[in-house]
Every structure is written in C-alpha cells, then in structure tokens.
Amino acid sequence: MEKFVLIGSGLAGGLLAAYLGRREHEVDLYERRADPREGNIVGGRSINLAISTRGIHALEQIGIAAEALEHAIPMRGRMIHEKSGALHFTPYDVDPKKCINSIGRAALNTTLIEAAQRYPNVHVHFNHKCTDVDLESATAHLETANGAVTAQGDAVIGVDGAFSAVRKSMQRDIANFQYDESYLAHGYKELTIPPGPNGTWKMEKNALHIWPRKSFMMIALPNPDGSFTCTLFWEFEGSRSFATTTTDDDVRRFFDEEFPDAVPLMPTLLDDFRDNPTGSLVTIRCAPWSYLDKVCLVGDAAHAVVPFYGQGMNAAFEDCVVLNECLQRYPENRERAFADYFECRKENADAIADLAIGNFIEMRDKTASRAFRAKKKLDHALEAVLPGIYLPLYTMVTFTRIPYAVAKHRARIQNAIVYGALGALAIAVVAVGIGLWRMLAR
C-alpha cells in the first residue's frame, strides 16, 4: 500500500491519519509537540471549540462521534449580555434540538490520535518538527532532540496548521504559487470563569455567551468541569486596546465599564489577563493545495479562517472527508485525487473565510440590537412555514453539509427575495393607507 507522511497531529492530522489507516495505508504522523497525553498541548490556542454538523459527520464516518462528544456541552443559542446586565437568549434554530457543542481541544485531540493509533499501520512520532519538504521526492526533513531525520513516503500531507512548514516549501518551490494572508486588527485573549460550588455553572450552561460591544466583544463557552472559557476579541492598537491597557487598574476599569456582570464571576481576571498570551487572527488563502501526487495540504494549512463562525475545525474535518472520498474514487491516480479534492474544497474554503469575517461584525455589533433579534425571529418563522425551502444562512452553515459556497449564494438570493417582498409589502400597505385616507378626506 501507499505510504503517507503526515506533518502535524493537531485536529485534522489525527482524523486524517485514522481515515488513511482504515484504508490500510502505511501512515507516519509527525508532530512537533510532545504527546498531548503527557501534558499541556493547547499552547495558546482556544481551550474549547464549537463542533457542529460537518465536524460531527466527519467523526461519525470513522465511528468516534459518540466517544468524542461524550463530554461535549450542547449550546442551544446565543445568550447576549447587555452592559446593564440584561440578558437575551436567541436560539440558533427554530428546532430547539439543533445545537452547537462546546468541546475541549485537548480531549478531542487525544481521542483523534488514539483513534488513529488503533490501526497498527499508523505510527505517531511526537517531538518531530518539520523544517522543510522536498516536493519531488516527497521527503520531509525533521528536527528532533537527537538531531535531524528524514521521512520519505509516496506523499507528504501538510496538516500542520496556519503557519504550515509544508506550505512554505510549496511556496518556495512551485512557480506561481498563490498566497495571501490577512490579519485582523483585533487579537484575542482567553480568560476564565471558574466553576461554582460542586462543579456547577455560574451562568446558563447550554448557551454561547456573548458580550457584544460594537467594535469588540467577549464570548464564553462552557466546559464540563463547570467553568467557562472566555475569549476577549479586542483591537491590538488604539486609544482603548490591548496596547494601552497594561496595568491591573486599566484592566479592572475596562472590565468594570464593559462587562460589569462578568467581573464578579472572574476572580482570576487580572492574573489571566497578565499571564495569557494575546493571539492574532489570520485568514490564509493559497493555491494550489497539492503538487503532483507528492504533496497535499489539509485544514488550516490550506485555509486558515478567523473563528467567528466556529467553522475552522469543522471545515478541516470536512476536508478529511472529501480527501478520503477522492482517494477512494481514484485509487490508482493520487494526483487526480489531490486535484479533485482541491477543486471541490477551494471555493468552499474561500466562502467560509468570507462568512467568518462577516460574522465577526454580526456577533460584536448586531447581536445586541432589537433588529437582529427580530431578523432571527423572522428567519425562524420563514423556516417553519417554508420547511426545506427557506434556510437561514447560519442554519445552512452550521446544521447542514450544504457546501459553504452554495450556502453563501443561496442566502444572498433568499435575502433578496424576502427583503424584496417585505419592501413591496410595505409599499403596498403605505399605498392602501394613503388611498383610504384620501377617500375618507373627500
């Protein structure tokens, strides 16, 4: 069987290794970090994530969805926190059973690696950092504590995240390789709301909490131990920003002003703010994602997106499903399989990248407004009266496997029809009103 060298045993790496292992390929998976089962693997990334239909489907395909979701917490909607302390809950869908799930990154990563290791033909090597890939010979060069080593396969797959070393080698060696990275002016910092007495949750457990404050926001996702992981998305620079908020007094004042209901729940706020890193948020687009039948990119390595639609991991998992299908379709022609995978995924990756940026504005600004809540109610009403015909964009992205690009296009058409019809209705009502008024005035 073919031998695959995978670089990166993050979320997509573990899953892809399991898919390839099941297909009886020889798989060597190299990860620069230590074995997550030996300690901290999170390394500054989000502690928990939202997994939804696409991600769950990918886990189901390999039979580990139930195991992975055992400790996940369903979130049925957004809980909006106003500055006044008022709360508004907006369900994600007209069907209350539809929810996204808060899942721990470390536990999910371990589940995926263990799923891959159930196949004796999958070998995982931790503490191996890829420094370079020779595309022609499908050879990865790796650094270890004991010196440099090489790993050659029939193909090298870069599942090594947004700052992929495999992609860098492609950038260097493929003529006209297209690459675009764009950073948001906002960074993020993770903070904690610890559990209440006896591991209870101090806020509504089954919701994604949002403190929308127009140009910035904080969110919180629940964890199984009763805690919440909060993430503050805030400008790096500016008169009120990460750059200017440096002392404990500055931090306390900012939180007291903006998130007064959260402050009493965050006893370690000042330590968390000081000690936790400030992460950056990047969108990466590149093309092509493969080189002949030798090298291929999957997940964030191919298309990092900002986290505001909660789809980066879900999209990375969907990549694994599609790549597996393409390899199955062309068992004798890996080059064709890689090319078809790119063809199928690229426009969808671009679509979710755009949608994710758009959703940042929706989350931090619009969710606070009455108009947003009214729009969601209208969406849900239309979905209920036109089942299967009208699907809100959020529903298509989160609760279906409709390709992202199709969802984006369909939402645009739906909006044009619905708002066109509402506009026409409004004009008709005004015209009838004026007519009646004239009749009565005669």
Give contact residues for ligand FAD (rule: CB under 6 A).
7-13, 30-33, 45-46, 49-50, 129-130, 159-161, 165, 188, 231, 279, 299-301, 307, 310-314, 316
On whether the CB atoms of residues 189 and 278 are closer than 8 A, the answer is yes
The rounded distance, in Å, linking the Cα atoms of 215 and 196 is: 31
- Look up residue 325 and give its two tokens: 């299908």
Q: Which is nearer to ligand FAD, 54 or 408 (CB)?
A: 54
CB of 284 to ligand FAD, least distance (A): 11
Tally of CA atoms within 13 A in the half-sphere of 57 that contains its CB: 17
The rounded distance, in Å, linking the Cα atoms of 255 and 260 is: 6
Q: Which is nearer to ligand FAD, 288 or 299 (CB)?
A: 299
- Look up residue 101 and give its two tokens: 């799930």
On whether the CB atoms of residues 68 and 103 are closer than 8 A, the answer is yes
Q: Which is nearer to ligand FAD, 105 or 414 (CB)?
A: 105
CB of 408 to ligand FAD, least distance (A): 17
- Look up residue 424 and give its two tokens: 């026409």
CB of 341 to ligand FAD, least distance (A): 15
On whether the CB atoms of residues 368 and 212 are closer than 8 A, the answer is yes
The rounded distance, in Å, linking the Cα atoms of 322 and 350 is: 16
The CA-atom distances, in angstroms, between 407 and each of 127, 207, 401 are 40, 24, 9
* Residue 15 φ then ψ, to 5°: -65, -45
CB of 287 to ligand FAD, least distance (A): 17
CB of 142 to ligand FAD, least distance (A): 7
- Look up residue 65 and give its two tokens: 């969805």
Q: Which is nearer to ligand FAD, 34 or 66 (CB)?
A: 34
Q: Which is nearer to ligand FAD, 311 or 414 (CB)?
A: 311
Q: Which is nearer to ligand FAD, 8 or 222 (CB)?
A: 8
- The residue with tokens 């870069």 is 158
Would you state the torsion angle of the CA atoms of residues 248, 250, 255, 256, taken in this order, to the nearest 10 degrees? 100
CB of 85 to ligand FAD, least distance (A): 26
C-beta neighbour count of 211 within 10 angstroms: 24
Q: Which is nearer to ligand FAD, 361 or 427 (CB)?
A: 361
CB of 244 to ligand FAD, least distance (A): 22
332: region left, alpha or beta (phi > 0 left; psi from -120 to 50 alpha): alpha
CB of 406 to ligand FAD, least distance (A): 19
DSSP-derived secondary structure for 72-97: -EEE-EEEEE-TTS-EEEEESSSSTT
CB of 9 to ligand FAD, least distance (A): 6
Closest CA to 77 of 67, 87, 66, 65: 87
Q: Which is nearer to ligand FAD, 190 or 383 (CB)?
A: 190
Q: How is residue 35 annotated by DSSP? A: P
The rounded distance, in Å, linking the Cα atoms of 373 and 136 is: 55
Q: How is residue 311 annotated by DSSP? A: -
The rounded distance, in Å, linking the Cα atoms of 313 and 271 is: 29
Q: Which is nearer to ligand FAD, 33 or 202 (CB)?
A: 33
Q: Which is nearer to ligand FAD, 48 or 414 (CB)?
A: 48
The residue number with the shortest CB distance to ligand FAD is 10
CB of 437 to ligand FAD, least distance (A): 53
Q: Which is nearer to ligand FAD, 333 or 362 (CB)?
A: 362
- The residue with tokens 């984006």 is 408
CB of 84 to ligand FAD, least distance (A): 28
